[in-house]
Each structure stands twice: as C-alpha cells, then as structure tokens.
Chains A and B, each alone.
Chain A
Amino acid sequence: MRPDLAVLGAGPAGATAALVAAGHGLSVVLIDENGAAGGQVWRAPAPHLDGGGEARQGGALRAALAASPVVHRARATAWMIAREGEAWRVDLVREGRAETVTARGLVIATGAHERIIPFPGWTLPGVIGLAGATVLLKANGVLPGRRSVVAGAGPLLYLVAAALLKAGGTVAAVVDLAARRDWLAALPALAARPDLLRQGLLWRARLAASAVPVLARHAIAAAEGEKRLAAVLVAPVDAKGRLRPGAAARRIEADSLAVGHGLVPETAATRLLRLPHRYDAARGGWCAVRDVSLAAPAPALWLAGEVGGIGGAAVAELEGRMAGLAAAQALGAASTPAAAALASVVVALARARRAGAAMAAMMRPREGMVDDIAPGTIICRCEDVTRAELDAAIAAGARTLDQLKQWTRCGMGPCQGRMCGEAAGALLAAAVGGRERAGQWTGRPPLRPVAADALVGDFDYADIPIPAPAPP
C-alpha cells in the first residue's frame, strides 16, 4: 500500500487525523491493533450493550470513518517504522501475515498506557488497571469481580467506580491517593468544561447513594490471595504517596481490584525513531516533542494526542484535527485547508488544554510512590524481577535504565518495559539525581512482540538472500 498518509493509532487523535486528511483529498491508511476505532476512551461498546456519552462520540467517529475513503487496517500490529527514501515505511502484521505501508507522510497517534506502581500482590489474578476495568465494563459488559476495590489517582477512579455500580457490581471502597483539597484545587481549570464537572459530580453522587466508602489520602498497601485476589490492605499516605509510619492498615475483602496511577504516553514508536522527548511529570512523564503545528523534527511526520503529553480525549481529537490539516497542507492535498480552519483549531485547543492539564496533573507520579515498595515485590512482571534485585544492581553501579535492564533483565520481557518502566525509572532516579536523568528505554524494533510465523510466511531456502560469508 502506498498512500499519501499513514496514521498509526485509531483513537480520537489518529482517527480524526485520518478523517480530516481524507476529507481534503489525501489517500489515507489508518493502522490500529483494535477491531474498531476509538482507542481506549471512545472504545466501541459490545454489540449487546448500549454505551454512554463517550460511546456516542466514538460512535460518530466510527460512522464517519466507515463513510470515508480512509483504508482502516484494523487488528493490525505495526512492528517497525523506518524512513525509506522520501517516504515512511511501516511494517505490520495483520491476520497472521506481513504487510507494508509506504506513505509520504506519517501521523503517530499511539496514545497512552496506564501507570501502575507496584505493591505486594499486584500480580495476582483479579488485579487489573483502571483503564482495563473500563474496557471490561464498557466494551464487554463484564464485571471484573463480585466485590471490587477501586484505587489510585485521577478522574478514572470515579469513572470506574460509578461504572461498576451501574453494571450491578459491588464497590467495597474507593481508595484515593488525593485529598479533597487536591480535587478542589483542580476546579478552576475545569470551569471551561462544565460537562466534565457535571460528570464528576454525578459519579460522586452515585457513590454516595450506594454508601460506597471513599478513603481519601489512602493507598493499597498489599493485595492478598492464593490463586486469585481475596482481600486488599489499605493504609493512609501522605501527600507524596508514602505510607504513614505506624498507621494501621485496613483489610477489605474483594475479589477484584482496579488500580491505576495515571497515564503515560506510549512512546515506543517515537523512541524507535530516535525523536526527542522531554520529561514533564504533569503531562505523564516522558512526552514526544513536537512544534506548535504538531510536527516532529523529521520530514512529513506529525505527533498527535497523548503521545505528546497526557491531555485527555478532547485535546486528542483537536490535535488529530490539527495534524490532519497540517498533513493535508504539507502533502499537497487536492483541497487545501483554509487558514481559518487551522486557526479555529488552535483556539479550541488552547481552551481544551487547560482542562486537560488539570486532569493530567491529578494523575502525576507522586515523589514518594516507590519508596515503600517492599524488597520482595515484583517490579518487572514479565521476568519476575523484584525490587531487591533492582536495588542490588543500582548499588552495584547501574546508572541508566538500559544498564539496569542488562544487569537484571527488567524490561526484557514481552511487555517491552511498558509495565515496569515507571517504577524502574523512579527507583533509578534516586541514584542518578532525578527521573529525567534516569532516562528512557532505548527504542528498538519490534514495536510489539511479533510472531515469526507472520513475518516469514511461506518460503523456500532458495528465497533467502544470504549475504556473503565472513572471511574464513
């Protein structure tokens, strides 16, 4: 496939970029791992469910996409991106076969994944992410358990708790790292989004109506269970997220724990391309750098949505619009975007970013979050690497994330450092003088684990272009 524009990620940013670019006459291929567009926040509800407001937004997007000339490569996993001459080459695997898209321009809109700071027992079945809980509830109509605890930080906490109740589940407690005053401090910035404020109040009202205990300034001390989660230990923390010494932990019976400590930009693609990133704790940590028109410092490349910093769905959609317009302009689309179109997006973005920033700030990593992690706690889930092993490697002189990885195998498993990276970085930060100096994982292909079978296809020995051998 050789379109004008390839878009990586079909969430609010990517799908909107694709639509806008196609609307101006560019040929567009949209690539995403999921079956339907919408990403996480606008995920399509299961066929037998009726969704809420976000599903309606996603529904409009999906309908627009279906009616557009955008070629939507769904259930496609991109594993490699490279510059090839004057074009961008994206290698992907779809339905067990390898495909290549070579496009004159590329939009990277890979979104975010969740940050979950480890605690003892977090690897027990029954412990899932907050965003993961929304996937179960909204996209599948499945309860994560009979009796759930919802914990962590940020607005997702209350969204999940309310969604659980609506689905007929029991919420044993909401465990919020934030204090009431942290929420009140965010209110001014949300003034521009009365819909979000109303939504938040509705969620809290629903919790109150069901007499769900909300434990402010508390965190999960441990998850307990044999083969599956059975109970959660909850304890008070300070503003930095550290357990209060001497404070008693409370045991709450639960067979499901939805926990999340914010969102982190999904930068595997931008790191693979060796693009610059900057560390901004208030925007999720390491963010890909782009200029005011969302262009990356590389030819015909735009970065839209959460990958450039956590800002929420409204910001992502507007950034997608901007990237689509910029691509249409730069790639010589049949119908040139009017200057007014771009100008109005700029204005809307400035407004939306304020509310988005406030929400992102609620999810920022707290300074003391890794301090209390017990030594035997698994940090790297894929390789079962414990905090004690990481501490030992740091004590032995590991000073970069890559070095830590080499000495402990943390980050070498199939999740490619996505689940452990935040905690590993925070542990290293103390030894090297800050999270920024700890750095990031060096980006390497494949962007996701990819089956050899899909890569190689059917072939014969004679097909393999074996290079000249080394000297004897």
Chain B
Amino acid sequence: MRGSGESVTITVEGAPVVVTAGLSLAAALLEAGHAVLRPSPRSGAPRGAFCLMGACQECAILVNGAVERACLVPVRAGMEVRLAGAHEG
C-alpha cells in the first residue's frame, strides 16, 4: 500500500526522518515507527494518536515551536517536530 508517493524530510527530536509526502504528520510519524508522541501531563504515561480526526488532542505536539494537532497537519519539508506536548514547552 506504500504507493509511489514523493518523500519529504522532516526533523523529529533533532534527527532527520524521511516520510511520504501528502500524509498527515501523525500518520507519517506512525509509519516511521513513532507510535509514542508525548507523555501524558499528569501521569507521564506514553501517549500516541488516538482519534485521528482532531478531537482527542492526544497528538497535540510541538511543530515548529507551536502546539499543533499532528493528525490535521500535513507534513512539509523541514518541519521540526518535538515528541513533547504543550506542558513541556
């Protein structure tokens, strides 16, 4: 199912990651093996994308310094992603 899509390179926690163009950031991270997106603010437990449609906020991570829902953000070349939530700045 991995089609003949183009690739873009993003940065995840400082490391370059090649992902399929046209994917949402959440889907791209999952495809690249990043199922854990951030720790839960109160318990610190690992969390990942859940509803994939912008409702649950589990995928709200730092993208280019701002909190974004990864499931709604399309990957763009040079995007800087931190696997950290709003409470981690």
Contacts and interface: CB of A to CB of B under 8 A. Distances in A.
The answer on direct contact between A and B (beta carbons under 8 Å) is yes
Interface of A: 33-35, 40, 46-49, 75, 96, 113-114, 123-129, 131-133, 135-136, 139-144, 167-168, 227-228, 266, 381-384, 413-415, 418-419, 448-449, 451, 453
Contacts of B50: 127-129, 132, 381, 419
By DSSP majority rule, is chain B's interface helix, strand, loop, or mixed?
loop
B39 to A, nearest CB: 10
- For chain B, give the interface size range: 35 or more
B77 interface: no
B56 interface: yes
Contacts of B28: 140, 142
Nearest to A419: B56
B53 A48 contact: no
A79 to B, nearest CB: 13
A228 B30 CA distance: 12
23 contacts: A33-B54, A46-B5, A47-B5, A48-B20, A49-B1, A113-B51, A125-B35, A125-B37, A125-B47, A126-B48, A128-B49, A132-B52, A132-B53, A136-B27, A140-B27, A141-B20, A142-B28, A142-B31, A168-B1, A381-B40, A381-B47, A381-B50, A413-B57
Given A141-B1, A142-B30, A384-B42, A46 B51 contact: no
Nearest to B67: A451
A414 B71 CA distance: 15
Contacts of A141: 1-3, 5, 20, 23
B85 to A, nearest CB: 9
Contact of B23 (A46, A131, A228): A46
B55 interface: yes
Given A132-B53, A228-B36, A384-B45, 14 more contacts: A33-B54, A35-B74, A48-B20, A114-B51, A114-B53, A123-B40, A124-B46, A125-B36, A128-B52, A129-B51, A132-B50, A139-B27, A381-B58, A449-B60
Most buried by B among A33, A125, A127, A132: A125
A126 B3 contact: no
Given A113-B55, A128-B51, A415-B57, A140 B24 contact: yes
B57 A142 contact: no
B72 A142 contact: no
Interface of B: 1-5, 20-24, 27-28, 30-31, 35-37, 40-43, 45-58, 60, 66-67, 71-72, 74, 86
B22 A48 contact: yes
B51 A48 contact: no
A382 B56 CA distance: 8
A131 B4 CA distance: 25
A136 B51 contact: no
Contacts of B56: 381, 415, 418-419
Contacts of A127: 50
B5 A414 contact: no
Given A47-B22, A113-B53, A125 B48 contact: yes
Contacts of B60: 414, 449
B48 A167 contact: no
Q: Which 4 A-B pairs have the closest CB atoms?
A: A125-B48, A48-B3, A132-B52, A48-B5
Given A123-B47, A125-B37, A142-B31, A449 B57 contact: yes
A144 B5 CA distance: 18
A356 B20 CA distance: 36
A136 B30 contact: yes
Contact of B45 (A40, A123, A419, A449): A123
Contact of B51 (A96, A131, A449): A131
A28 B27 CA distance: 32
B78 to A, nearest CB: 17
Nearest to B24: A140
Nearest to A131: B53
A424 to B, nearest CB: 15
Nearest to A382: B57
A275 to B, nearest CB: 20
B42 to A, nearest CB: 4
Contact of B22 (A46, A125, A136, A144): A46
Given A125-B48, A128-B52, A131-B51, A46 B36 contact: no
B65 to A, nearest CB: 10
Nearest to B60: A414
A132 B42 contact: no
Contacts of B22: 46-48, 140
A49 B23 CA distance: 11
Contacts of A382: 41, 57
A126 B46 CA distance: 11
A383 B85 CA distance: 13
Given A129-B51, A140-B24, A143-B1, A228 B72 contact: no
Contacts of A35: 74
Contacts of B57: 382, 413-415, 449
A415 B59 CA distance: 11
A333 B46 CA distance: 53
A456 to B, nearest CB: 14
Contact of A167 (B1, B5, B20, B54): B1
